Amino acid sequence: MPLLEQVLEHNPDTVKIVLKNMPLGFHKEATPAALAALAAGNQGKYWEFHDALFDAPKLSTEVINDIAVQLGLNIEQFTKDMNSPQIRQKLIQDLNDAKEAGVTGTPTIFINGTRLKDRNLPAIQAIIDKELGKKAN
């Protein structure tokens, strides 16, 4: 997500990105990919796994496993975590959070609870500056 990377570059001390998974039901590999990214997160490689998934031309079980190997994950632990109730619960919580927030598609971006309409750096920065101004007062 180059745009969000730019936001972080411009706001290194004030912005934190939180990603919530929302695998879409019509994409059969979306849920396994989300579970895999969460499992990779248990080994400190969530963002690396996430980025590799989005760089892949097509998702499949083989691609998911290849990414795990390329990132040097402990495959036995990765597989165990991917199938664990705890990881599944994290995904369910993300889906519940999305539903509660009225999210119907991906990507959807919020800044401090405000849904972003304009996806460009100046618009995002304006909202960030506004939110920072509220906290400074």
> What gap in Å lies between CA 106 and CA 130, rounded to an integer?
25
* Residue 83 pLDDT: 96
* Residue 104 pLDDT: 87
Q: Tell me: the pLDDT tens digits for 80-119?
A: 999 999 999 999 999 999 999 999 888 888 888 888 888 8
Provide the 3-class DSSP secondary structure of residue 74. coil
> What gap in Å lies between CA 87 and CA 78, rounded to an integer?
11
Query: Whole-model pTM?
Result: 0.82
* Average pLDDT of the residues of the chain: 92
User: What number of H helices and E strands is found in the chain?
Assistant: 7, 2
Q: How much is the average pLDDT of 17-22?
A: 89
CATH architecture of 2-136: 3-Layer(aba) Sandwich (3.40)
Termini Cα distance of the chain: 32
Element (H, E) at 115: strand 114-115
* Residue 133 pLDDT: 86
The token pair that represents 11 in the structure block: 């706001």
Q: 48 falls in which pLDDT band (50, 70, 90)?
A: very high
For residues 122 and 8, the answer to whether their CB atoms sit within 8 Å is no
